[in-house]
Structure 1
């Protein structure tokens, strides 16, 4: 009971601390998808709604290196990041780092990769799909079962043309996996092209099609997984405490 009480207090403190990170929108200097490349190495930043995910990978070599993310805001040329997960260092969960972020148009100078370099905006973040989604229901056999909110959760982050999912634990900092790439959503067909995958590099480059629809704040996602298994999932737009 004592541990649960401490975790509850920690979560409440984090939400209070992160309250100032709300209100980021498409006009934010960091909103959208940004890319920094050096040789075969690619850094991808996705940012919207006061949240971000950052991933480092080698697309041509199908190698995943690391990912991290959480609540963000830009003030006075600084990208302030409150970590909700970090694939290499779970102790960073709940802590903050500041990075440089000086944007002009669709270019930015930042040390987000560990050293200062140029980032190029490759996508916007102002569509109906933009935002952070959490899987809230999944069909098992013929039953559609609720997935209750818990510290261990799977989030899916979309800008206008890119996606990334991450399985994380916001209390313990445990990281279970991630994948992402580009997507299109036209005439009820949602298509993903996998650009990186932490669990199975052989799936990089695969293109997956789903028959999807939006129902209010819910996104109904149906089709076959990258393993070929049938799926029926409901993803819902997240309030701040579910991210």
Structure 2
């Protein structure tokens, strides 16, 4: 056997023997894992990654972080690389980037992180508002100034496969200001959130809020009453920097 055929043969044997982690890109979707009463949730579209951890039996928000992501093949195996935009534990750990060994096998995802986490991909549930959105302005739209990617202070709302999460943060100083998330539905102009975790008030978990929605171009017009019963009208703008543009 010559040198040109030896290394491909050796690599194939190592893979079959389980000496090399399974490779492959992480498929877009929502992934869930549970360890010791803690729910671990990942939302990813292949270019952006959000991780959240929370307790459900006695509701308690624990942690969230997220940013722009990719999977790199390295000599030691594939690694998930995430350039963080926000990190709720930044004052404790000062993390701005993740490099996590990853293995993918069908719908199973394993991250060898602060502990070995084994995630299962959830069923696809495509809906009208899926995608990444940035808060732009209060409605109605009368040509007023808008917040966007150029502004360091952002409120991101990320919706995918029936799961939603909003995150308020400032990239200047890496300041985290709050988050909440859970399940959602969007149909026939009605958007409903079922709160599964809320960093500012755990007692809000279990509540459901319904709003009217309309998509106009790249804008999501969001109307209804907030959690305090006060009328609100928000305009969110599609964020193509955190997703693949059509």
> Which TM bucket (shorter chain)?
0.7 to 0.9
**CA distance change for structure 1 residues 117 and 57 in 2, over 3 Å: closer, same or farther?**
same
The C-alpha deviation readout for 1:30-49, integer Å capped at 9, x for no partner, is 41111110131011111125
C-alpha displacement of 1:147:
3.2
Aligned partners of 1:125 and 1:89: how far apart in 2?
A: 32
Q: Which runs of 5+ in 2 are unaligned?
A: 1-23
CA deviation after TM superposition for structure 1 residue 128, in Å: 4.7
Matching residue of 1:116: 116
* Distance change (3 Å), C-alpha of 1:164 and 1:154: same
Which runs of 5 or more residues in structure 1 are unaligned? 1-26
* Deviation of 1:100 (Å): 2.1
Q: Whose radius of gyration is greater, 1 or 2?
A: 2
Q: Equivalent residue of 2:139, what SS? A: strand
Counterpart check, 1:129 vs 2:129: yes
> Within the alignment, does 1:147 sit opposite 2:183 as a pair?
no
Indicate if the aligned counterparts of 1:63 and 1:196 stay in contact, CA closer than 8 A: yes
Find the aligned partners of 2:214 and 2:171 in 1 and give their Cα distance: 29
Mapped partners of 1:126, 1:111: distance in 2: 29
Partner of 1:202, secondary structure, is helix
Deviation at 1:130, TM superposition (A): 2.6
Match of 2:56 among 52, 55, 59: 59
Asked if the contact 2:128/2:187 (under 8 Å) is kept, the reply is no
Moved over 6 A (4+): none
C-alpha contact (below 8 Å) 2:26/2:109 kept by paired residues = no
- In structure 2, the residue corresponding to 1:119 is in which secondary structure? strand
Write the deviation string for residues 45-78 of structure 1: whole angstroms up to 9, x where unpaired: 1112511111111022110111111111122321
Q: Displacement of 1:129 after TM fit?
A: 2.5
Cα distance in 1 for partners of 2:145, 2:192 equals: 25
Q: Is the 8 A contact 2:128 2:186 kept in 1?
A: no
Match of 1:198 in 2: 199
